[in-house]
């Protein structure tokens, strides 16, 4: 039975072959760190790191590679924004669709006196940007939104949200876990102050590396939550203030840098437009097939536009965990079931506490795989119906 991988929202798989090749080259032929030596292999590492920052900036619409901070992962990038920015007495706005990578740090900050509100979203997970305006207070110091939902695939209108934040002079941050590498992102054009991305999802790189892009103004005021050796300004015992060293302490994940650089090159060569078209076409095809299947509920929008290829299904006559297990064991289809680390999103979508079975598509997903998934869902629902009648 062929395996059909439909868990790309968790982590993309497979990766472009160049990713593993670049990581292997680093491990076998380079081995050096950045900012610490001037020999040839150290310069190789330096150049690869610079190429990565430049590639990420081109992809994400940021004009200054020095403000592209490489992180040890997306959750860390989000914590760097929240913990480094919000102080007791500050107020923060998030959407009603956030992942726990935002909600847990925010609850921890709330225990220390930070306040927050959730901007309401409709039953398809969509936020009306005007809702931001209604919740702004004099002490609102940050608006942070999940750009694309990891539960429903719904993509928010970041440009509109950015305009409102600019109007009130409030820093605007985006969690682009589900959109980086899938959608056009325009850091400068959307007036973003901070943007965190994982390397291992739509960018198709390895895990354990991500990027935090900052505006110069925000970077100047953001407190680094990790300080330490940077290989630069070694005469000083205080953290350098210049970028990106201010936020990059410790020896970085160099195999990850090489892998992500190759991945970003692949994404750029393929083109965001082609990546997005492929995903939209497959999502439309999958949704069209699902529409005809009774006794399932879609958690999210039926319209394939303004969404990514994350399709969550709530089985009405089969337990969702059992459905996911049967998809794997009877059909070879790998999905994720449960709450996907986003209980708030499920409360918005009406799928709390039962959760959903999530099918998430990627660049390497084929139309045949999507059809196989839809047929499996139809067959499972039909079998459950027959058993019920007996
Ligand atoms: C919307 C969203 N935010 C944050 C995260 C956390 O990302 P990571 O586990 O790569 O740190 C995820 C992961 O699924 C996500 O989908």
Mean of all residue pLDDT scores within the chain: 96
Q: Is the pLDDT of residue 199 over 70?
A: yes
Say which residue, 390 or 131, is predicted with more confidence: 131
Which residue's entry shows tokens 């990581």? 23
Q: How far is the CA of 282 from the centre of ligand 1 (A)?
A: 23
Q: What is the mean pLDDT of residues 188-209?
A: 98
What pLDDT shows up at residue 7? Answer: 98
What pLDDT shows up at residue 76? Answer: 98
| pLDDT tens digits along 96-123 | 999 999 999 999 999 999 999 999 999 9
Would the CB of 365 count as within 6 Å of ligand 1? no
Q: Is the pLDDT of residue 385 over 90?
A: no
| pLDDT tens digits along 240-265 | 999 999 999 999 999 999 999 999 99
What is the bridge-based pairing of β-strands 172-175 and 140-146? parallel
CA dist 227 and 185 (Å) reads 29
Q: How far is the CA of 102 from the centre of ligand 1 (A)?
A: 9
**Contact partners, residue 119, CB within 8 Å, separation at least 6:** 93, 94, 95, 96, 127, 131, 132, 135, 145
Ligand 1 pocket test: pick from 75, 309, 343 the residue with the most ligand atoms within 8 Å of its Cβ.
75
Q: Is the pLDDT of residue 228 over 90?
A: yes
Burial of 120 (0-12, 13-18, 19+ CB in 10 A): middle
Would the CB of 175 count as within 6 Å of ligand 1? yes
Q: How far is the CA of 154 from the centre of ligand 1 (A)?
A: 15
Would the CB of 147 count as within 6 Å of ligand 1? no
What pLDDT shows up at residue 38? Answer: 85
Measure the N-to-C terminal CA separation of the chain; round to a whole number of Å. 30
Q: How far is the CA of 176 from the centre of ligand 1 (A)?
A: 9
Would the CB of 98 count as within 6 Å of ligand 1? no
Q: Which atom of ligand 1 is nearest to the CA of 201?
A: 10
Q: How far is the CA of 31 from the centre of ligand 1 (A)?
A: 29
Q: Is the pLDDT of residue 213 over 80?
A: yes
What pLDDT shows up at residue 390? Answer: 63
What pLDDT shows up at residue 285? Answer: 98
17-270 adopts what CATH topology? 3.40.640
Ligand 1 pocket test: pick from 78, 101, 300 the residue with the most ligand atoms within 8 Å of its Cβ.
101
- Assigned token pair, 43: 């310069």
| Sequence ranges of the chain with CATH classification 3.90.1150.10 | 4-13+272-389
> What are the distances in angstroms from CA 210 to CA 191, 257, 336?
21, 9, 22
Is pTM beyond 0.75? Reply is yes
4-13+272-389 adopts what CATH topology? 3.90.1150
Q: Is the pLDDT of residue 389 over 90?
A: no
Q: What is the mean pLDDT of residues 260-287?
A: 98
| Sequence ranges of the chain with CATH classification 3.40.640.10 | 17-270
CA dist 123 and 107 (Å) reads 24
Q: Which atom of ligand 1 is nearest to the CA of 73?
A: 11
Q: How far is the CA of 214 from the centre of ligand 1 (A)?
A: 19
* Closest-CA residue to 193 (of 50, 84, 59, 55): 84
For the chain, percent of residues with pLDDT exceeding 70:
99
Q: How far is the CA of 152 from the centre of ligand 1 (A)?
A: 14
Would the CB of 99 count as within 6 Å of ligand 1? yes
| pLDDT tens digits along 325-367 | 999 999 999 999 999 999 999 999 999 999 999 999 999 999 9
What pLDDT shows up at residue 291? Answer: 96
| pLDDT tens digits along 149-195 | 999 999 999 999 999 999 999 999 999 999 999 999 999 999 999 99
Would the CB of 177 count as within 6 Å of ligand 1? yes
Would the CB of 75 count as within 6 Å of ligand 1? yes
Q: Which atom of ligand 1 is nearest to the CA of 149?
A: 1
Q: How far is the CA of 237 from the centre of ligand 1 (A)?
A: 34
Identify the band that residue 37 occupies on the pLDDT scale cut at 50, 70 and 90: confident
Q: How far is the CA of 149 from the centre of ligand 1 (A)?
A: 10
Q: What is the mean pLDDT of residues 225-240?
A: 94
Q: What is the mean pLDDT of residues 48-66?
A: 98
Would the CB of 253 count as within 6 Å of ligand 1? no
- The residue contributing the CA closest to ligand 1 atom 15 is 177
Would the CB of 125 count as within 6 Å of ligand 1? no
Identify the band that residue 386 occupies on the pLDDT scale cut at 50, 70 and 90: confident
Instruction: Please tell me whether residue 26 adopts helix, strand or coil conformation.
Output: helix
């Amino acid at each position: 039975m062929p395996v059909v991988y439909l868990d790309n929202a968790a982590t993309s798989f497979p990766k472009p072959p160049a990713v593993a090749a670049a990581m292997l080259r680093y491990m076998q032929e380079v081995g050096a760190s950045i900012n610490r030596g001037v020999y040839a292999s150290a310069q190789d590492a330096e150049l690869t790191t610079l190429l990565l920052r430049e590639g990420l900036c081109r992809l994400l619409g940021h004009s200054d590679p020095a403000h592209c901070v490489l992180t040890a992962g997306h959750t860390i990038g989000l914590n760097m924004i929240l913990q480094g920015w919000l102080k007791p007495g500050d107020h923060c706005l998030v959407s009603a669709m956030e992942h726990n990578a935002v909600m847990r740090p925010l609850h921890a900050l709330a225990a220390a006196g930070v306040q927050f509100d959730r901007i309401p979203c409709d039953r398809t997970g969509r936020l009306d940007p005007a809702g931001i305006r209604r919740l702004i207070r004099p002490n609102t110091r940050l608006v942070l939104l999940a750009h694309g939902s990891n539960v429903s695939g719904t993509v928010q209108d970041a440009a509109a949200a950015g305009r409102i934040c600019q109007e009130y002079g409030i820093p605007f941050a985006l969690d682009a876990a589900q959109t980086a590498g899938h959608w056009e992102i325009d850091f400068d054009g959307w007036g973003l102050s901070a943007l965190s991305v994982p390397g291992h999802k739509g960018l198709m790189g390895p895990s354990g590396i991500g990027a935090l892009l900052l505006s110069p103004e925000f970077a100047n005021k953001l407190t680094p939550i990790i300080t330490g050796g940077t290989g630069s300004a070694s005469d000083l015992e205080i953290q350098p203030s210049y970028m990106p060293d201010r936020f990059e302490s410790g020896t970085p994940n160099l195999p990850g840098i090489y892998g992500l650089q190759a991945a970003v090159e692949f994404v750029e060569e393929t083109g965001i437009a082609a990546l997005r078209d492929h995903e939209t076409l497959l999502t439309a095809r999958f949704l069209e097939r699902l529409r005809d299947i009774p006794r399932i509920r879609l958690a999210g929008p039926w319209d394939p536009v303004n969404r990514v290829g994350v399709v969550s299904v709530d089985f009405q006559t089969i337990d969702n965990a059992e459905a996911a297990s049967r998809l794997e064991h009877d059909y070879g289809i790998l999905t994720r079931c449960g709450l996907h680390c986003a209980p708030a999103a499920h409360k918005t979508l009406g799928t709390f506490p039962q959760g959903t079975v999530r099918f998430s598509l990627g660049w390497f997903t084929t139309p045949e795989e999507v059809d196989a998934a839809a047929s499996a869902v139809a067959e499972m629902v039909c079998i459950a119906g027959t058993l019920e009648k007996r």
